[in-house]
């Protein structure tokens, strides 16, 4: 049973556009929500993370929006660049070391 | 070398072979993990070690056997695998065994079982 559902599976965006990836969860005990970025031939790397006590967190062009009542969170990539082309994974955890990952979204930024 | 390294990067093996995957972390971390990554599926946690002691075996078949001789090294011994075991196997480490501790991943071993 998949605990974190991620969509879309893939998206294509023009350079300078906004990429939006959505994740939904059911387990209300989840209290830590990281996003990982993975380039081809590399392992995932932490991009940005949020706790449910805030509704938004921004780091550079990357923003996480969190809706606790809807049990949804999303990643926005502003002014998308070709170097942002990668697979993005959302994840969630409930006060232990186990991360439940989404299935990933492959983002392609066209120049 | 820095970060988390994995060898080999690619491995092709028959169903009757025995092989081992190696992971080494140069970060001074105490926790190490094995994940399986299959296309279009979530990362699956397989094993977790904390201070060399196994703390998690996520219902992994016995044809996968982990070994952690010290906090810097982690092995995954493989024997009599099935074609459905073909995947990218990722090693990760974190300072402590906490979800909020960033997990640092290696580049993975691409395994193909014929």
Quote the pLDDT of residue B22. 98
CA distance A49 to A51: 7
pLDDT confidence bin for A110, thresholds 50/70/90: very high
Residues of chain A with pLDDT > 70, as a percent, come to: 99
CB pairs under 8 A between A and B: 54
- Give dist(CA B100, CA A34) in Å, integer: 9
Q: How much is the pLDDT for A2?
A: 77
Question: Do B90 and B4 touch, CB atoms closer than 8 A?
Answer: no
Question: Are A103 and B41 in contact (CB < 8 Å)?
Answer: yes
Mean of per-residue pLDDT scores for chain A: 95
**pLDDT given for residue A54 in this prediction:** 92
In which band, very low, low, confident or very high, does the pLDDT at A97 lie, cut at 50, 70 and 90? confident
- Residues of A with Cβ-Cβ distance to B101 under 8 angstroms: 97
Chain B interface includes A99 (CB < 8 A): yes
Query: Is the previous residue joined to A39 through a cis bond, with omega within 30 degrees of 0?
Result: no
**Residue in this structure with the two tokens 């998949």, named with its chain if needed:** A2
Residues with pLDDT less than 50, chain B:
none
């Amino acid at each position: 049973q998949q605990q974190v559902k991620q969509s879309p599976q893939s998206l294509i965006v023009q350079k300078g556009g906004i990429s939006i990836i959505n994740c939904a969860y059911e387990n209300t005990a989840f209290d830590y929500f990281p996003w990982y970025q993975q380039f081809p031939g590399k392992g995932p790397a932490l991009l940005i993370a949020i706790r449910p006590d805030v509704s938004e967190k921004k780091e550079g062009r990357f923003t996480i929006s969190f809706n606790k009542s809807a049990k949804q969170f999303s990643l926005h990539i502003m002014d998308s660049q070709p170097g942002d082309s990668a697979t993005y994974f959302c994840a969630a955890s409930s006060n232990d070391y186990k991360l439940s990952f989404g299935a990933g979204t492959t983002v392609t930024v066209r120049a | 070398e820095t970060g988390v390294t994995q060898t080999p990067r690619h491995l092709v093996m028959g169903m009757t072979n025995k092989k081992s995957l190696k992971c080494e972390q140069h970060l001074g971390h105490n926790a190490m993990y094995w994940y399986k990554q299959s296309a279009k599926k979530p990362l699956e946690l397989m094993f977790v070690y904390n201070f060399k002691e196994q703390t998690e075996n996520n219902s992994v078949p016995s044809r996968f056997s982990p070994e952690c001789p010290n906090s810097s090294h982690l092995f995954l011994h493989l024997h009599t695998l099935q074609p459905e075991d073909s995947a990218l196997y990722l090693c990760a480490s974190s300072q402590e065994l906490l979800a909020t501790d960033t997990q640092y991943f290696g580049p993975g071993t691409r395994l193909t079982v014929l």
